[in-house]
Amino acid sequence: MRLQILTFVTFNDFMKISGSDLHLLTVFDCVVRNGGFSAAQAELGLSQPTISNHITALEERLGIRLCQRGRRGFMLTEKGRMVHEVSQDLFTAIGDSSSRLAELRGNMVGSLRVATVDCISTDDAMKLPDAISSFINHAPMIRFELSQQRPQEILRQVMDGALHVGIGSFDKAIHGLEFVDLYAERHSFYCGASHPLFHVPDADITEQMIEDSARIDRGYWSRQRQRALNIREIDLSVHEIESQLMIVLSGRYIGLLPDHLARSYVDAKRLRKFELDQDPYICQMQMVTKSGKKPVVIRAFCETLVQAHRE
């Protein structure tokens, strides 16, 4: 646990971070994540005055003001924001180092941080739950952390070390990251029940009708992908598939959605799938990790994840 670390870590030429400093930084991190002192009370199990005293002690230790607090609410100063970023890097480094030390004794302990893009749970081809179950059976002491992020954010956090493994569809390879294909996700064009094309027979639907209709697409798609899909500047864009689905359901826009996600809405006659002659749009779902030699925990999970998608 972060609060139990008693070692000293050299931070710079003027200051060493001790176990008590890590305790104060942990309290500060909780306050920032919860957006204020009172909101952090439940997680910390401390009273508001005690939390305030901890933050004051950290400010005195660092010699800077971390935040504004009072009737106008909690707000980080610019230096407070920088301290929080440094503390995140510090916690990540300590967690990774703890895992590496545990490896020397042949144990798999510590945290494994994984992130996926949104709306993949309804895909039968996605075997992440199977991989998680198998991995935890073999490494029950691992703290498994799973989050949902946009593709670009996954890449950034894997590169920074904030994430160990990412799962999603990524437009291009990035130097320093390793990509492994997992499975293919098929997409098709859909419209909602109140859209003018909803009741038009399949035989009468043309690709030009789709091209001429207002579209809702994803803002994180690369220019190359946008050109391939004939996305226009006037088309609406969002950054989450769930948001895209809701706008398509409104009947005002046509959208390219994963077939597995849309299936139940088609069955309920809330969405209509356009059966076009053109080739289906396929998203290649991949696993991304940092290049180079991986700690045993990350390597073991990656092998389990890949194997789950090969069976």
pLDDT at 98: 67
The full DSSP string for the chain is -GGG----EEEETTEEE-HHHHHHHHHHHHHHHHTSHHHHHHHHT--HHHHHHHHHHHHHHHTS--EE-STT--EE-HHHHHHHHHHHHHHHHHHHHHHHHHHTTT---EEEEEEE-SS-TT-TT--HHHHHHHHHHH-TTEEEEEEE--HHHHHHHHHHTS-SEEEE--SS--TTEEEEEEEEEEEEEEEETTSTTTTS-GGG--HHHHHHS-EEEETTS-HHHHHHTT--TTSEEES-HHHHHHHHHTTS-EEEEEHHHHHHHHHTTSEEE---SSPPEEEEEEEEEESS---HHHHHHHHHHHHHHH-
pLDDT at 290: 93
CATH number given to 19-84: 1.10.10.10
pLDDT at 13: 45
CATH number of this structure's domain 184-283, picked from the four choices 3.40.50.2000, 3.40.190.290, 3.40.640.10, 3.30.70.580: 3.40.190.290
pLDDT at 14: 52
Fold of domain 94-182+287-309: D-Maltodextrin-Binding Protein; domain 2 (3.40.190)
pLDDT at 196: 96
Q: What are the extents of the domains in the chain?
A: 19-84, 94-182+287-309, 184-283
184-283 shares the fold of 94-182+287-309: yes
10-residue averages of pLDDT along the chain (311 residues): 37 65 89 87 87 91 87 85 88 72 63 95 97 92 92 92 94 89 95 96 89 84 59 74 96 95 98 82 93 89 96 82
